[in-house]
Amino acid sequence: MKRRPLLAGNWKMHATVLDACHLAADIAKTCAGLEDRDVVLAPPFTVLSQVAHMVAETGIFIAAQNVCWEAEGAFTGEISPLMVLDAGGGAAIVGHSERRQIFHEDNALINKRVRGALAFGLIPILCVGETLEERESGQTFKVVEEQVRAGLAGVETADMKETILAYEPVWAIGTGKTASTGQAQEVHAFIRNLVADIYEKDIADQVRILYGGSVKPDNIDVLMAQEDIDGALVGGAALNAESFGRIIHFQEI
């Protein structure tokens, strides 16, 4: 089943208002007339509304880099789903490896974020992936399965149709290392089969699974040629309109 490609740029902790607006405008130009794929930008919370305004009516979707599970309350430092929606966002990255590794967010907390996003109409982009130590000790599939099952706990079938998954091997993020196409495809196929086991094959066939981990203009084409890779979650290369534009306009091989 051919799924609609999705190319997402995670700006992480980069870009003040002026820089963000320039970058968003330049990326929007590269997407002019693009109709066969989706583009998502995930800017910092502080520029979310400005970027949403810059790309309004361009077809580019806006995502938050994280999201709380409550609409409001005593959650200092958190951003609620309603705040994301109000700022122009329609999706949220959840469980990014940096949240797991640096800020020690566990599967239970990430699941609350996933369900919170869905409850308020946001599309979650649930990230999973193993560390180098876990891969070298043969635990890749065990870790990924635990993260997928826990992250999707309580997510109904109807909501799963809208949920996006992203496989990002921790050892390949920001390191310049990229999982080989064989390694990436193998885990993507495993995740799709896992979704089929949790839900049903029709759902698994529809779910888009992105690859994240040092995605660049020179490796996007071969990654996108893999059967179960439906897009990319891009970090550093998304901070440059030219490089991200080449990734958006990947060539089918």
Cβ count near 21 (within 10 Å): 17
The reported pTM is 0.96
- Residue-level pLDDT at 1: 65
Q: Which of 130, 95, 128, 129 is nearest to 112 (CA)?
A: 95
Which CATH superfamily includes the segment(s) 6-248? Aldolase class I (3.20.20.70)
One pLDDT digit (tens) per residue for the chain, 253 residues: 689 999 999 999 999 999 999 999 999 999 998 999 999 999 999 999 999 999 999 999 999 999 999 999 999 999 999 999 999 999 999 999 999 999 999 999 999 999 999 999 999 999 999 998 899 899 999 999 999 999 999 999 999 999 999 999 988 777 777 678 999 999 999 999 999 999 999 999 999 999 998 899 999 999 999 999 999 999 999 999 999 999 999 998 8
Among residues 57, 39, 46, the alpha carbon closest in space to that of 20 is found at: 46
- Tokens 């989706």 found at: 38
Q: What is the pLDDT of residue 177?
A: 72
DSSP H helices, the chain, are 17-30, 48-54, 81-86, 97-101, 107-119, 132-136, 140-151, 157-160, 181-198, 201-206, 220-224, 241-248
**CA-CA distance, 39 to 49, in Å (whole number)?**
17
Query: Looking at residue 77, what DSSP letter applies?
Result: T
3-state secondary structure of 240: coil
User: Residues 201, 202, 203, CA angle at the centre, nearest 5°?
Assistant: 90
First to last CA, the chain: 17
Q: Where are the domains of the chain?
A: 6-248
Angle at the Cα of 140 from the Cα atoms of 204 and 143, rounded to 5 degrees: 75
Q: How many CB atoms lie within 10 A of CB 35?
A: 6
Amino acid at residue number 176:
G
Supply the pLDDT for residue 157.
97
Burial class (CB in 10 A: 0-12, 13-18, 19+), 225: middle
Cα 129 to Cα 26, 59, 72, distances in angstroms:
31, 29, 30
Distance CA 210, CA 230 (A): 5
pLDDT of residue 84: 98
Query: Would you state the pLDDT for residue 247?
Result: 98
Catalytic residues: 96, 168
Amino acid in the structure at residue 241 = A
Which of 171, 249, 234, 247 lies closest to 12 in space, CA to CA?
234
